[in-house]
Structure 1
Amino acid sequence: MAKSAAHPTAPEGGVGEVAREFSRLGVTSFGGPVAHLGYFRTAFVERLRWMSDRAYADLVALCQFLPGPASSQVGMAVGLSRAGYRGMAVAWAGFTIPSIIALVLFGYAVDSLGDISNAGWIAGLKAVAVAVVAHALLGMAKNLASDRERATIAAGAMVFVLLVPGAFGQVGAIAAAGVVGILWLRAKIDDADAHLPLPVRPAVGIASLVLFVALLAAVPLLVTITNSDALRLFDVFYRSGALVFGGGHVVLPLLQAEMVETGMVGVEEFLAGYGAAQAVPGPLFTFAAYLGALNEGGPNGILGAAIATVGIFLPATLLVLGVAPFWNRVRQIPLIRRALLGVNAGVVGILAAALYDPVFTSGITGPVTMAIGVAAFIALHSWKLAPWIVVVLGALAGWVFL
């Protein structure tokens, strides 16, 4: 394993490099947002050394505080750091578009395919996700919770999240870990290895934050004035992306209330799409594309999918651009640095809690999935196989034995 705590040594890359790496992740990153963060760490900290473990953990901590899809925001920030605005765009596209295409196609064929959530190859992928998260947890704990104080914070965060599930538990655990870090931990003076270049001018950042708030306030008013079905669809998904903390599964109750209870999508189609969303790689927020394609109350098909996708991911994009110009300066403040040490340990605890529930509880359902998970972990941790190879082998094992 490369020394992830060392200062990154790889030269600045181009847009093509970012597109290649995120396109690979876009077709192999199964298992949900926590697993995505594990895949990202393996790729960008261990294998490519684009950033240090501390810089990556700081970035994850920041995105956990922001509403929207945390793994997508981390990916956008990595692309932005590596190749500017174009890097941010291709990082999002490479990671997201494969699952959008898969879910829109599934939307067209939902009546004939039915529920695929219990297929054997999907069970194999869920078992592999357990190995991916466990591998990431070990690596992050070694660097971010290696002393007794931070290990204690990590354990406390894990217990809190397990006892208080949902977005409140995650945000509460992070906030508490930050407070404990301020009161208990001492920051290192040398922070160079945690610096992450985010080339966004302050004026662009402020404009992005203003636009984020303005759209949140103005779009519902425009819907009332114009009675536009397209704006109404955009409003549903923009509010979902802007107001939901925790991402992933947390957004599903809101989407169900907005789409099913209003008659825009039938309950059977909603549940079938939710099952399909578990089976595709990439962010769960791409479920929006499926719902937009099946929208019965206005734009649907490709246009509906495009409106829904832009609506749900635009808030995350604006927030990343909004905080980027100020992040490295803010995180150098001693008080903030101590808080981040605590928060990073808290993130380790949250990852440990997620490893148990939902990753382990949904991925390990019997002796066969346990065997697949253990084999995948050994392949990643000891044999150093590329994650995409492990994903393919896990899916094949599930298809053959389950």
Structure 2
Amino acid sequence: MEFLKTCILRRHACTAVCFWRSQVVQKSSARKISTTSSRSTVMPAWVIDKYGNNEVLRFTQNMMIPIIHYPNEVIIKVHAASVNPIDVNMRSGYGATALNMKRDPLHIRTKGEEFPLTLGRDVSGVVMECGLDVRYFKPGDEVWAAVPPWKQGTLSEFVVVSGNEVSHKPRSLTHTQAASLPYVALTAWSAINKVGGLNDENCTGKRVLILGASGGVGTFAIQIMKAWDAHVTAVCSRDASELVRKLGADDVLDYKSGNMEEQLKSLKPFDFILDNVGGSTETWALNCLKKWSGATYVTLVTPFLLNMDRLGIADGMLQTGVTVGSKTLKHFWQGVHYRWAFFMASGPYLDDIAQLVDAGKIQPVIEKTFPFSKVPEAFLKVERGHARGKTVITVV
């Protein structure tokens, strides 16, 4: 009882900042403090109860509203979300072995306890609840975020995220526009800036090649590289060429118009390559880099999660380490850097991206918008591929 009284007193002290009325709920574990709205305990959401094809997507109005378990968390009322290729892959079970390990680091979860699972990584919405340690946000703030794949997703009325994953939404964007950017922006930012080492101070005049330039990551990558004054060559299909030129690409190549390797060899070598395609591409793409000049190839298509799904955690991590190590060493002796990159959730990075958006240097590229009732149709569209920007879901 003394612990419960302390929690109530602390919560009352926070009401000067958090005007959304909440109740303190004691869970079975004394470390968990919930601050859910007293209005309701359930919400609408799209979930899956098993992995499979699009038929496993299920709409429910009885998903439990998320609660704040840790003092650095916030609850966001979702105004818009989006569907990324990773959502389609996760629906089918991609990465389940590694993601479940992250969800349950003590390995006490039994098989299937990740369900019902809500997909969706992007969110733009309004803060409804603040944990006791949250200092940079308050209820009513318009925010955006990208939720890591091991957490419950954003195709729901509310979502709970860590405060360090959240950023104030760009003022110049609507919620629908803002929801198209976080996941792809942070993925590209990780590849270009954190792994590739490029930024606004060292990118001027760099020759950059973007493979798979018309999708969500590609369209953002073109814009960020142009904002940093790089020379960008974009590879896409002919029907996307007008789009990527409008985004700033200096040269555009149609990958269907002949031998891509020969087309690229006829151009000057590149300082940086971002590969969103994978497959056999890296067998020849690295030959297009400048040798012995610090040139870097970064791929976002890696076997990391697939290895663990196929081989288990231990053997999968071992195989992954051997693969990336051998490739890195091989290409190092050939005079180029070979790197893998992954999505990184980060509110501070989104702060930087929001400044570029509000400065007019980054614009959202939305191919189609679906209402919340049409989430399965949105998944089918993304699953068909050949994206020309993002697929967005309006929730509110």
On whether the aligned pair clears a TM of 0.5, the verdict is no
The TM-score normalised by the length of structure 2 is 0.27
Q: Which structure shows the bigger proportion of residues in strand conformation? A: 2
Asked which structure has the greater CA Rg, the reply is 2
Task: Report which of the two has the higher share of helix.
Answer: 1
TM-score by length of 1: 0.26
